[in-house]
């Protein structure tokens, strides 16, 4: 079974802090994604990566950056956390580029910025 893990289930940070959210997948997937999910707004794509060191902006990249130094790990960085970044963050992975394949999600990180 594909397993996607996220470093924290719950996180509380202060405004202005730098925040790192980590995601690891164990199935050698090429694609990895970061979404945020908010009531009434659904799932929105922040960033995605098709390969190591490769990243593309999604629909709402402002205030975020990402890092993918190894194939299995995709990190989301909030450079200076703000209260409007309080949300549920979901990481996902899928098998290969050039072919839309099944997405597998991690358990999510509930981030609260105070």
Partner 1 sequence: KQEVTQIPAALSVPEGENLVLNCSFTDSAIYNLQWFRQDPGKGLTSLLLIQSSQREQTSGRLNASLDKSSGRSTLYIAASQPGDSATYLCAVPTDSWGKFQFGAGTQVVVTP
CA atoms within 13 A on the CB side of 51: 3
Residue 24 interacting with partner 1 (CB under 8 A)? no
Indicate whether 22 belongs to the interface with partner 1 (CB under 8 A). no
Give CA–CA dist 23/91, Å, rounded: 6
Q: What residues numbered 69-108 form the site for partner 1, per CB under 8 A?
A: 88, 90, 92, 94, 96-108
Supply the minimum distance, in Å, between the C-beta of residue 103 and partner 1: 6
Q: Which is nearer to partner 1, 4 or 19 (CB)?
A: 4
Contact 111, 86 (CB under 8 A): yes
User: Residue 30's closest CA among 99, 114, 105?
Assistant: 99
53 secondary structure, DSSP code: T
Spatial contact of 56 and 47, defined as CB atoms under 8 Å apart? yes
Note whether 110 binds partner 1 by CB under 8 A: yes
Shortest gap between Cβ of 10 and partner 1 (angstroms)?
10
Residues engaged in binding partner 1 (CB under 8 A)? 4, 31, 33, 42-43, 45, 48, 50, 58, 88, 90, 92, 94, 96-108, 110
């Amino acid at each position: 079974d594909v397993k996607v893990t996220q470093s924290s289930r719950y996180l509380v940070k202060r405004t202005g802090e730098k925040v790192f959210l980590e995601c690891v997948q164990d199935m050698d997937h090429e694609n990895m994604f970061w979404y945020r999910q908010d009531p009434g707004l659904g799932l929105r794509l922040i960033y995605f990566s098709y390969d190591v060191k490769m990243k593309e902006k999604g629909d709402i990249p402002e205030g975020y950056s990402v890092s993918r130094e190894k194939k299995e790990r995709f990190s989301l960085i909030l450079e200076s956390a703000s209260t409007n970044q309080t949300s549920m963050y979901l990481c996902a992975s899928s098998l290969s580029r050039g072919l839309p394949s099944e997405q597998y999600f991690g358990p999510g990180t509930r981030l609260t910025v105070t």
